[in-house]
Amino acid sequence: MQLSTNKIGIVGMGQTGCSVLRWLLAQGQQPVLFDSRDQLPQAASELLALAPQSLTVYLGEFDSEALNSCDVLVVSPGISIATPAIAKAAEAGTQLIGDVELFCLFDERPRIAITGSNGKSTVTTLVADMLHAAGIKAAAIGNIGVPVLDEFGSDADVVVMELSSFQLETTYSLQATVACNLNVSADHLDRYDSFEHYAAAKARIYQQAKVAIWNRHDQRTKPHQFSGKSISFGLDLPEDQIAEEQWGVGLEGRHSSLLKGSTAVFNCADMAMLGGHNQLNALAALACVAELVDDLAPCANVLRTFTGLPHRCEPVYQQHGVTWVNDSKATNEGATLAALDGLNGSYRGKLILLAGGDGKGTDFCTLKQALNQQVDELICFGKDAVKLASKRHQARLVSDLEEAVRLAHDISCSGDLVLLSPACASLDQFPNYMVRGQRFAQLAKELAQEVSS
């Protein structure tokens, strides 16, 4: 793409849009800006004030004619390309891309691309840490919170890209050195026509990749019509150990170990993270770095100290024998299922689950069995509380998280585990899942202090 011969528009002036604007200004471009709000966010306004020349800005409802006046639209991932005005501009010939596509067109460094409904931030962080341990400068970017273009021109040797389905649907030139799809479970069904449409967006990560890494326990992650090297991982021993390339878990002597083919790479008992879902995350990360690193020992040693990310099965408080675990990052059913499976056996009393929020169009059917077999007490709150509660024979309904935490405190006793794993987005009651998790931890501590005083 020749920047100089194209009129470029930026759609959405949040964090991603500001990143695109900074990059285009640095290239001497004068993009047209579009934002559906009545006024630009403060960060965008401040950035615009520093622009060398005044730029055209369209605010409020998108106008397809104004959008179509651009040759290329860089659409922020939070804005659906199915938005009528944007779709109409595309039909008229305007090219729709995302910031990831722009990055890939102009950055030539090796890239490891990671997607999945759950665990992608954990695996992205692990991969970057493992590469650092092996002496390779790596930058974790993308959906993990660092806009990709902010990393353009840095001194990192390898970029590790966490990519959402929204980012992948506007990316055409990824050409990843390694592409990994961790899992696919129902999510964002308020934005996609069907689950199959969502899964297809995830599968775009394999386009033109050299190596595809996929989850044997989830056939929806398996690459199809793929001409590169295909490597699977799973908690079992792979039946196909051709060239000893497949990853799994098995016994090495009396110990359960992470295996590459039949070779033990790391003792599972030495992992700082708990649960089978984190063994899968570790296998995926090791499989990714193994394509760039010969000696895996320094990479595997990262697993001794890596305890996971905040708001992901994070123990936040313990008193009177009750453990409070913050899994606020579980914004879909698959993440909550992984948490329930991973924490199984880590408590001797009841499991009290706090769940609810905005289900983003899901029906929670895949959670039904786990809610009835693995959960002792279910407390539902938020926008879709009633829908979620209907999937269990007995559930408690409350209005908000504060009431849920108070009820959990009242019914818990020594040996119990109270888990916030909402299976829903937070935006019905909180700015984001981080604020929700922080509030959960704060409430748990405040209630305990009330009782102690």
Specify the pLDDT at position 296.
97
Q: Rounded distance, CA 200 to CA 321, Å?
A: 45
What b/e string do you get for 306-330 counting C-beta neighbours within 10 Å, with b at 16 or more?
Answer: bebbebbbbebbebeebbbbbbbbb
What b/e string do you get for 44-74 counting C-beta neighbours within 10 Å, with b at 16 or more?
Answer: beebbeeeeeebebbeeebebeebbebebbb
Domain 3-97, second-level architecture: 3-Layer(aba) Sandwich (3.40)
Tokens in use for 403? 């009431």
Tokens in use for 179? 């592409």
In tens, the pLDDT along 120-162 reads 999 999 999 999 999 999 999 999 999 999 999 999 999 999 9
- For residue 120, say whether it is annotated as part of any ligand binding site: yes
Q: Check residues 190 and 355 and name the one with the higher pLDDT.
A: 355
- CB–CB of 120/113 below 8 Å? no
- For residue 124, say whether it is annotated as part of any ligand binding site: no
- For residue 426, say whether it is annotated as part of any ligand binding site: no
- For residue 445, say whether it is annotated as part of any ligand binding site: no
Cβ neighbours around 342 below 10 Å, total: 20
Sign of the torsion formed by the C-alpha atoms of 373, 375, 377 and 383 = negative
Residue 410 phi/psi, 5° resolution? -70, -30
Specify the pLDDT at position 447.
87
Tokens 């394509």 appear where?
291
Q: Rounded distance, CA 391 to CA 57, Å?
A: 47
- With a pLDDT cut of 90, the percent of the chain lying above it is 84
- CB–CB of 323/136 below 8 Å? no
On average, the pLDDT of the chain sits at: 94
Residue 97 β-bridge partners: 74
In tens, the pLDDT along 411-434 reads 999 999 999 999 999 999 999 999
| CATH tag, 102-304 | 3.40.1190.10
- For residue 98, say whether it is annotated as part of any ligand binding site: no
In tens, the pLDDT along 232-256 reads 999 998 765 555 789 999 987 788 9
- For residue 360, say whether it is annotated as part of any ligand binding site: no
Residue 318 β-bridge partners: 323
Could you give the residue numbers annotated as active site? 120, 143, 188
Q: Classify domain 314-452 at the CATH topology level.
A: Protein-Tyrosine Phosphatase; Chain A (3.90.190)
User: For the chain, where do the domains classified as CATH 3.40.1190.10 start and end?
Assistant: 102-304
- For residue 334, say whether it is annotated as part of any ligand binding site: no
Mean pLDDT of 183-206: 90
Query: Which residues 6+ apart lie within 8 Å of 334 measured at CB?
Result: 117, 118, 183, 184, 185, 186, 187, 366
In tens, the pLDDT along 298-347 reads 999 999 999 888 898 888 999 889 999 999 999 999 889 989 988 888 89
Sheet holding 247-252, edge to edge: 138-142, 158-162, 111-115, 178-181, 211-215, 229-233, 247-252, 255-260, 263-267
Mean pLDDT of 261-271: 93
Q: How far is CA 43 from CA 11, 39, 305, in A?
A: 15, 11, 36
Q: Rounded distance, CA 84 to CA 140, Å?
A: 34
In tens, the pLDDT along 1-23 reads 777 778 999 999 999 999 999 99
Specify the pLDDT at position 192.
87
In tens, the pLDDT along 49-61 reads 989 889 999 999 9
User: For the chain, where do the domains classified as CATH 3.40.50.720 start and end?
Assistant: 3-97
pLDDT greater than 80 at residue 262: yes
Query: Which residues 6+ apart lie within 8 Å of 404 measured at CB?
Result: 354, 356, 379, 380, 381, 398
User: For the chain, where do the domains classified as CATH 3.90.190.20 start and end?
Assistant: 314-452
